[in-house]
Structure 1
Amino acid sequence: MGSERLLLMMFAVAAAAQNDVSVDCGRDSVTVRWSPVSPQKPDPSRALLGACPPSSSSAESGHELLFSSSLLDCGFQRKVTQDRVTYSNLLTYDRRPAGPFLSRSVQCVYELAVSGAEEEDEGVVTFSLELMNSDFSAPAESLRFRLGSALQVRAAVESRSRRPLWIYMQSCIASTDADIGRAARVHPVISNDGCLMESKWGNSSFLPRRHPAEIRLHLQAFKFALGQKIFLLCDLEAWDVQRIDRRECHYIKQQRRWELLDDRSQSYICSSCDSSFFQRTEAERGMSAHKVLGPFVMEEESLETQSSSERGLSDVPVWLMLLLVSVALGTVMGALAISYYLCFWRGGRLGYRPSRDLLTKY
């Protein structure tokens, strides 16, 4: 917590509304006491704080479970806003088969203050959205794409602070105008908070992350406003921690299912991409930006292919054309001469035998 060069002013506690939970937040640790509603003495093996079981002393606490943990352990999620840092986690207790799961939220909120220079540095976040070449090593050389070819899109976020950021593409819309209000045509590419719809309609996909602050999108050129200027309008969001309520989902056609980019085992989060709108766990947003990419053009493949073929023939040198014609004519003439020799002249004489009368007559 001290690596952020921030001055800790005070800390507070935000726990579940239920009075069966007591939370004591230290500077970098937390102690939680929980008395889950159960007809019997709680079983410590059924309780978790995030990924951590109760401490060993909890068995001696009667109906109270005791958790003691560092805020860097047990899966605490850390979120930084302008003036505070919040660590969040979830208490769970498995009452099956007698009853359903119990859960309680746990939060430690620390209010922060920074000096003027540090505050300016911490607040500067830069988002970028650009078309790249095939290996993402440089910007794309051409902004004209044939149907079926690849548009390599890179979204990234940078911060002057040393803390890492996670970027998410919440939505992207193809539009015939940079201002969607003036656009004659629009087409959803990413919708429903991170669902890549073009992966289901075409052969588009998210590429594996190289690091949290970058997303690479392989977008197959599709039939939309062909020959016209096209813009990609995207809403980007960044957090300083990986969020379980933020997602990047693409469709795997061979398996007929949606897959979560950052953790395949959690792909159930993508199950609502087809059916309903994704419900976030909280309304608060991270750092966000609206970026416009373009203009670029998508074209019919047949026209380009035809013009390429015509250009290929016209680029052949005259002397090479004459040579090829001469060789072809020589080959044809030679074949005709050989055929005449075998079929008419030599072939006819091979079958000839003079009769005995003619031989004895002279």
Structure 2
Amino acid sequence: MNLDCGPDSVTLVWTETRAQANTSLFRLGSCFPTSLSAREAVFTVDFSDCSFSRMVTGDKLTYANDLIYVSPPDSPIPSFTRPVACVYDRPKDWFPVIYEPVFDTYGQGDLVFHIGLMNGNFSGPAESASFPLGSMIPIMASVAQKSHQPLLLLLEECVAASTPELQPESSVYPIITNKGCLMDSKVSRTKFEPRLKFSEIHLLLQAFRFAEGEEVFLHCRLVAWDPDSLDHTRKACHYDQQQGWELLDDPANSHLCDCCESSCRSRRTRSTSAGKHEQKAILGPLTITMNS
């Protein structure tokens, strides 16, 4: 296997010496080869494709995936998997965005925030905190309010970590970044579910390859916001493979999600913190297991 790691893409060439092998049966994550010959399978892909995972560990940034050979029945060559990783120096200005998490439920004035694992139809709490790789993890966050006007609950940031406390050197997997952009939806089946209430947000998170078999903690920032004042920094956006970035609460204004590929900053001149209520929260531990 020859691997050429670029700034935001990779070229992988697998040279096969066995005559019985079929190079069209190679996959890089979720991607087919970009070119083929009788002896070579070539992949030239971006890290935003093919279900690459992005992890920051210490002073290193790693994009990881698997090269898979899917053997047909009765083939003399068994199926196999080879790890693929491109490792870079961590950007000097990168650090985990969320600190000092609190557990489960927390009150702020007359607001009470909650985040929890749910069962498959979001009708009650999950019976288990163990999820096979590739399965869906239902997560619900909510805010209970008393005298406040109706507020929209948003997940502003979420990262997975293998520790209940986040430090600058923590190993993390970004899920929601850039002020409400569900980045994991670009490379998986992760998505926001349609809202039933302003005060709740439902997230279906596809179990990812991170700290397999170990405890995983989700560190999130919850924001309660005026539902009539969404902007580039107060939104819930996920990626649809056919439509592109879509605003959960008003698809007609999905232009608010355009910044998800760059940097989301408010275009308002006044402070966007007016009327904002936020809470840092932690969900876990949960465990991601290999499929049996």
Note closer, same or farther for the CA distance 1:275–1:127 as it changes in structure 2 (3 Å cut): same
Q: Are the aligned partners of 1:177 and 1:183 in contact in 2 as well (CA < 8 Å)?
A: no
Note closer, same or farther for the CA distance 1:284–1:265 as it changes in structure 2 (3 Å cut): closer
**Alignment partner for residue 199 of structure 1, among 185, 197, 200?**
185
> How far apart are the structure 2 equivalents of 1:176 and 1:271?
31
161-170 or 226-235, larger mean C-alpha shift? 161-170
Match of 1:288 in 2: 278
How do residues 343-354 of structure 1 correspond to structure 2 at under 5 angstroms?
none
Note closer, same or farther for the CA distance 1:122–1:133 as it changes in structure 2 (3 Å cut): closer
Shift of 1:239: 2.3
TM-score, normalised by the number of residues in structure 1:
0.48
How do residues 292-311 of structure 1 correspond to structure 2 at under 5 angstroms?
292-301=282-291, 304=292
Matched residue type, 1:275: S
Match of 1:254 in 2: 242
Q: Which has the higher strand share?
A: 2
Q: Are the aligned partners of 2:159 and 2:219 in contact in 1 as well (CA < 8 Å)?
A: yes
> How far apart are the structure 2 equivalents of 1:201 and 1:272?
18
How do residues 1-362 of structure 1 correspond to structure 2 at under 5 angstroms?
123-161=109-147, 163-181=149-167, 184-245=170-231, 246-255=234-243, 257-279=244-266, 281=268, 282-285=270-273, 286-301=276-291, 304=292
Shift of 1:283: 3.1
How many residues align? The count is 181
Note closer, same or farther for the CA distance 1:296–1:279 as it changes in structure 2 (3 Å cut): same
Shift of 1:185: 1.4
Q: Are the aligned partners of 1:204 and 1:220 in contact in 2 as well (CA < 8 Å)?
A: yes
> How far apart are the structure 2 equivalents of 1:155 and 1:165?
13
Identity of aligned residues (%): 41
Shift of 1:166: 1.1
Q: Are the aligned partners of 1:122 and 1:161 in contact in 2 as well (CA < 8 Å)?
A: no
Task: Between the two structures, name the one with larger relative contact order (CA 8 Å, sep ≥ 6).
Answer: 2
DSSP 3-state at the match of 1:181: coil
Q: Are the aligned partners of 1:122 and 1:159 in contact in 2 as well (CA < 8 Å)?
A: no
Q: Which has the higher helix share?
A: 1
Shift of 1:244: 2.1
Note closer, same or farther for the CA distance 1:139–1:292 as it changes in structure 2 (3 Å cut): same
Matched residue type, 1:262: D
Match of 1:61 in 2: none
> How far apart are the structure 2 equivalents of 1:202 and 1:142?
22
Shift of 1:173: 0.6
> How far apart are the structure 1 equivalents of 2:267 and 2:198?
20
Structure 2: gaps of 5 or more residues: 1-106
Shift of 1:184: 4.0
Q: Are the aligned partners of 2:137 and 2:204 in contact in 1 as well (CA < 8 Å)?
A: yes
After TM superposition, what 4+ stretches of structure 1 lie above 3 angstroms from structure 2? none
> How far apart are the structure 2 equivalents of 1:182 and 1:270?
28
Q: Are the aligned partners of 2:266 and 2:272 in contact in 1 as well (CA < 8 Å)?
A: no
DSSP 3-state at the match of 1:250: strand
150-159 or 175-184, larger mean C-alpha shift? 175-184
Q: Are the aligned partners of 1:194 and 1:247 in contact in 2 as well (CA < 8 Å)?
A: yes
Matched residue type, 2:237: C
> How far apart are the structure 1 equivalents of 2:164 and 2:154?
21
> How far apart are the structure 1 equivalents of 2:114 and 2:182?
19
Larger Rg: 1
Shift of 1:182: 7.4
Note closer, same or farther for the CA distance 1:122–1:163 as it changes in structure 2 (3 Å cut): farther
DSSP 3-state at the match of 2:254: helix
> How far apart are the structure 2 equivalents of 1:269 and 1:162?
26
Structure 1: gaps of 5 or more residues: 1-120, 305-362
TM-score, normalised by the number of residues in structure 2:
0.59
Shift of 1:168: 1.0
Deviations for 1:156-188, whole angstroms, at most 9, x for unmatched residues?
A: 001122632211111001011111117641011
> How far apart are the structure 1 equivalents of 2:187 and 2:131?
18
DSSP 3-state at the match of 2:179: coil
Matched residue type, 1:293: L
Deviations for 1:66-123, whole angstroms, at most 9, x for unmatched residues?
A: xxxxxxxxxxxxxxxxxxxxxxxxxxxxxxxxxxxxxxxxxxxxxxxxxxxxxxx993
Note closer, same or farther for the CA distance 1:269–1:252 as it changes in structure 2 (3 Å cut): same
| C-alpha RMSD over aligned residues | 1.9
